[in-house]
């Protein structure tokens, strides 16, 4: 993250001299870093755009505050993947095939699977021609790309809901319960930076979680704490959790 912050600092200096700067697609954590840095700079504004409603990965557009935001192009293109002939595609196949083109992950935004035959993705417009020419297969499935800019694309998250019984809302206890592992394994996971709380790496085991918090655990997925309004007869807490699918 140090190198990333240095790059954004350089962008801010250029914006202060009247330029408009675009990042590639940023993770939610990186977006928070950019927002924090911009708040400390006079005369600089930032907006984020990822191509469609509800997306996570977004480009940051940094520009002088005297400029009209509405006149700045976001430089994001939306593609729809069309299978040629019968065939189903998955998110992982799509991402793997895109990375097989030897492009950086940050040049691609969110990938949205409507159905196995209907997949959309956002990309930096600088790579539009390259993708149109070279992205011709997802796995073994031949495809074509069409511009989806005029389609009303909304990312609707899908969840699997379950209950957890925990002794407290400490972060290490919640992680242990989600992973279904020993406390020391959950603690090591935190220490190694494999846990994000509300998009930020959090290594503090004693941190108290709250309803509405979102946890991401490497290799386990993304989870949201929905409610905690019941207790067992022994006084333990019943927490309702949603896992993002």
107 has a pLDDT exceeding 80: yes
Average pLDDT over residues 21-29: 93
Average pLDDT over residues 83-103: 88
Quick one: which H or E segment has residue 201?
strand 200-201
Copy the structure tokens of residue 98: 């895109």
103 has a pLDDT exceeding 70: yes
Beta bridge partners of 62: 21, 46
**CA terminus-to-terminus distance, the chain:** 28
Higher pLDDT, 72 or 177: 177
pTM confidence score? 0.72
**Nearest-CA neighbor of 112 among 87, 143, 88, 91?**
91
Average pLDDT over residues 160-169: 94
Residue 195 CA to residue 153 CA, distance in Å, equals: 30
CATH superfamily label, 76-147: RRM (RNA recognition motif) domain (3.30.70.330)
38 has a pLDDT exceeding 90: yes
Domain ranges of the chain: 2-71, 76-147, 159-244
CATH classification (class only), 2-71: alpha beta
CATH code for the part of the protein at 159-244: 3.10.290.10
1 has a pLDDT exceeding 80: no
155 has a pLDDT exceeding 80: no
156 has a pLDDT exceeding 70: no
88 has a pLDDT exceeding 90: no
pLDDT tens, residue by residue, 45-55? 999 999 888 88
Copy the structure tokens of residue 147: 């511009």
Are 2-71 and 76-147 in the same CATH fold? Answer: no
pLDDT at position 116: 65
Residue 2 CA to residue 13 CA, distance in Å, equals: 17
pLDDT tens, residue by residue, 191-226? 999 999 988 889 999 999 999 999 999 989 999 999
pLDDT over 70, % of the chain: 98
pLDDT at position 90: 85
């Amino acid at each position: 993250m140090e190198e990333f912050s240095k790059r954004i600092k350089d962008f801010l200096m250029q914006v202060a001299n009247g330029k408009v700067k675009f990042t590639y697609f940023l993770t939610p954590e990186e977006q928070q870093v950019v927002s924090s840095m911009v708040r400390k700079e006079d005369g600089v504004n930032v907006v984020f755009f990822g191509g469609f409603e509800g997306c996570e990965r977004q480009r940051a557009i940094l520009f002088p505050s005297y400029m009209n935001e509405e006149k700045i192009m976001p430089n994001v293109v939306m593609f729809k993947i069309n299978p040629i002939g019968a065939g189903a595609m998955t998110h992982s196949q799509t991402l793997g095939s895109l990375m097989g083109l030897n492009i950086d992950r940050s040049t691609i935004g969110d990938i949205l699977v409507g159905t196995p035959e209907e997949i959309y993705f956002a990309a930096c417009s600088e790579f539009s021609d390259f993708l149109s020419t070279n992205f011709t297969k997802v796995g073994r499935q031949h495809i074509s790309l069409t511009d989806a800019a005029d389609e009303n694309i909304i990312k609707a998250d899908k969840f699997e809901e379950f209950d957890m019984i925990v002794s407290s809302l400490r972060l290490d206890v919640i992680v242990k319960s989600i992973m279904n592992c020993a406390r020391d394994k959950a603690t090591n996971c935190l220490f190694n930076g494999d846990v994000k709380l509300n998009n930020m790496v959090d290594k503090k085991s004693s941190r108290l979680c709250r309803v509405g918090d979102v946890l991401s655990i490497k290799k386990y997925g993304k989870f949201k704490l929905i409610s905690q309004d019941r207790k067992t007869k022994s006084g333990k807490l019943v927490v309702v959790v949603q896992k993002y699918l």
